[in-house]
Amino acid sequence: MKDFRKKGSVGLWALIIVLLLLVTNMGTFLLCKYYPAFIGINDEKGDDVTSANVEKLTYIIDKLKENYLWEIDENEMWDSVFKGLMGGIGDDYAEYMTKAEYEEYQQTLTGSYSGIGVQITNNDDGNVYVTKVYKDTPAHQAGILPGDVITKAGQTDLIGVSVTTAVTFIRGETGSSVTLTVLRGQNYLTFDVIRKSIDLVYVSYEMLEGDVGYIYISEFETNTFDQFTEAVKTLQAQGMKGLILDIRQNPGGAVSEAVNIADSLLPKATIIYTMDKSGEKNVYKSDSQSLGLPLVVLIDGYSASSSEILTTALQGNKAAVVVGEKSYGKGIMQILVPLSDGSLYKYTFAEYFGPNDTPIHGIGITPDYVVSLPNEYKNVLIEDIPAESDTQLQKALETVNEMIGI
C-alpha cells in the first residue's frame, strides 16, 4: 500500500532543480551550453522517448560529475534515480528497495527482528499509517493503536516518506529507544518506545464454549499456513464442532499462504483467479479435501489483500458466513523482482477476482451480517477486546451455533 507518487528521489531532484534555477537566472547561454541535444525531445514517441530520456539522464549525470561543487555519492544518487522511477509510474504499491532494505524486508517475513511490533503502510496521503499492532510488543505496551499516523521518529520527519524509509528510522538495536510522534484524529501524541527482539506468531487459537474453535490470524507470512494447520489439528483433537476464523485487523501478506488456507477449508472449487495486463487468467483451485465443519469468518475495515482473497473464496463458494464490517478493498497483486546486485523492485501486475467474478479492488467485501464494534473498542487491538463486549465475535458465535444446530 505504498504511495511513492508524492515522494520521488529527493537528492537527484534537488540537483536538477539547482540546474534549472541556473538556467532561469543566466538565460539562453546556459541553456545552449548544457542542453544542446534536447531541444524538441517532447516530439519523440514510444521507444524513441525512452531512449532520448535515458540519453538525457546520462548527459545530466555526466555534467554533474564534471561541474558539481562537491563529491557525489553515486550509489546514493542511483538509488534515488531508481526510487524515483518506481515512484513515477503511478502505482501506489510500486517500490525499489536497496540491497540493505531488501535484506531487512526479508527478515521481517520470518517474523523475527528488532523493532517495536507494528505493521505499517502508506495511506492515501502517502503518510506512514499503522495498520496492525502486535500483542505484547513495545508498541502495544506503549499505547500505539491501529489508525495512528506516525509523523516523526525522533527528530526525523516521516511525512510523505515510504514505508521502507520509515522502517529504517523506527527499527533499531534491541534495548535502544525511539520517540515516535503520531497523529491520532486531530491530536498529536508522543510515545517513548524501547525496541526489543520481536518474534511474531501469526496464528493463535482456543476452544470456546460449545466446542466452537476460534483461530485468529494476524498476518499471512511464510509460516502462517503451517501454524494454521497445527491449530486446526489441535482443535479437532479437542472435539471441535464448528470454527470461527478471525482475520480482523489482518493487512494481508503472502498470497500463497491465504490460497493454501482456502484450499484446506474448501471442497473442490475455484478459490480466486487473477487477470494481468494482457487479459491472461490464472485460476487458483482447491482440491476435494475440506474441513467440513460450520465456518464463520470475521472481517473489518483493516482486513485487506490476502485476507480478502481468503474471505471472497469462502463467501463466494458458500463455505462460510462472513460477519463484521466491510473490508479494505485491495484486490491487486504485486510481483517482487530481485536483481543481481541484491536490490529489488516490485510493482502491480494483476488484479484478482472472487469465484463468481467478484471484484474486490476499491470495493471491499460486504459481510453477510454487518456488525459494528462499540465505539470504545474501535481501533483497539482485537486481542484486547473483552469477549463479552466484542459484538462481532458474539454474532459469530450465535451464527456458528445455529449452523451446528445448538
- The reply to whether 390 and 247 lie within a common domain is yes
Is residue 98 situated within a structural domain? no
Determine what percent of the chain is predicted with pLDDT higher than 70: 88
- The reply to whether 219 and 321 lie within a common domain is yes
Domain of residue 38: give its range: 10-90
Residue 121 — very low, low, confident or very high, per pLDDT cuts 50/70/90? confident
- The reply to whether 177 and 228 lie within a common domain is no
Boundary (domain end) residue, out of 132, 164, 199: 199
- The reply to whether 395 and 299 lie within a common domain is yes
Number of domains within the chain: 3
Which grid cell is 202? 501469526
Amino acid at 310: L
Is residue 180 situated within a structural domain? yes
Structure confidence by residue, pLDDT tens digits, 345-366? 999 999 999 999 999 999 999 9
CATH number of the domain at 240, please: 3.90.226.10
Is residue 260 situated within a structural domain? yes
Which grid cell is 48? 524513441
Boundary (domain end) residue, out of 167, 199, 231: 199
* CA distance linking residue 367 with residue 325, whole number of Å: 6
- The reply to whether 249 and 386 lie within a common domain is yes
Is residue 301 situated within a structural domain? yes
- The reply to whether 176 and 223 lie within a common domain is no
Strand 187-194, strand 177-184: pairing: antiparallel
- The reply to whether 214 and 184 lie within a common domain is no
The region of weakest confidence among 93-107, 230-244, 268-282 is 93-107
Structure confidence by residue, pLDDT tens digits, 66-76? 999 999 999 99
Predicted confidence (pLDDT) at residue 385 exceeds the cutoff of 70: yes
Sequence-distant (6+) residues with CB within 8 A of 250 are 132, 217, 218, 219, 220, 302, 303, 304, 306, 307
- The reply to whether 247 and 121 lie within a common domain is no
Whether the Cβ atoms of residue 87 and residue 94 lie closer than 8 Å to each other: yes
Is residue 106 situated within a structural domain? no
- The reply to whether 215 and 326 lie within a common domain is yes
Is residue 208 situated within a structural domain? yes
Residue 222 — very low, low, confident or very high, per pLDDT cuts 50/70/90? confident
Instruction: Please tell me which residue, 110 or 93, carries the higher pLDDT value.
Output: 93
Sequence-distant (6+) residues with CB within 8 A of 252 are 219, 220, 258, 304, 305, 306, 307, 308, 330
Is residue 16 situated within a structural domain? yes
Q: Mean of the pLDDT values across residues 200-217?
A: 96
Is residue 2 situated within a structural domain? no
Instruction: Please tell me which residue, 39 or 224, carries the higher pLDDT value.
Output: 224
Predicted confidence (pLDDT) at residue 116 exceeds the cutoff of 80: yes
Structure confidence by residue, pLDDT tens digits, 3-50? 333 334 444 443 333 333 333 333 333 333 333 333 333 444 567 888
- The reply to whether 209 and 120 lie within a common domain is no
Boundary (domain end) residue, out of 158, 179, 199: 199
- The reply to whether 262 and 396 lie within a common domain is yes
Residue 45 is predicted with a pLDDT of 56
CATH number of the domain at 128, please: 2.30.42.10
- The reply to whether 17 and 58 lie within a common domain is yes
Whether the Cβ atoms of residue 380 and residue 148 lie closer than 8 Å to each other: no
Q: What are phi and psi of 155, to 5 degrees?
A: -100, 5
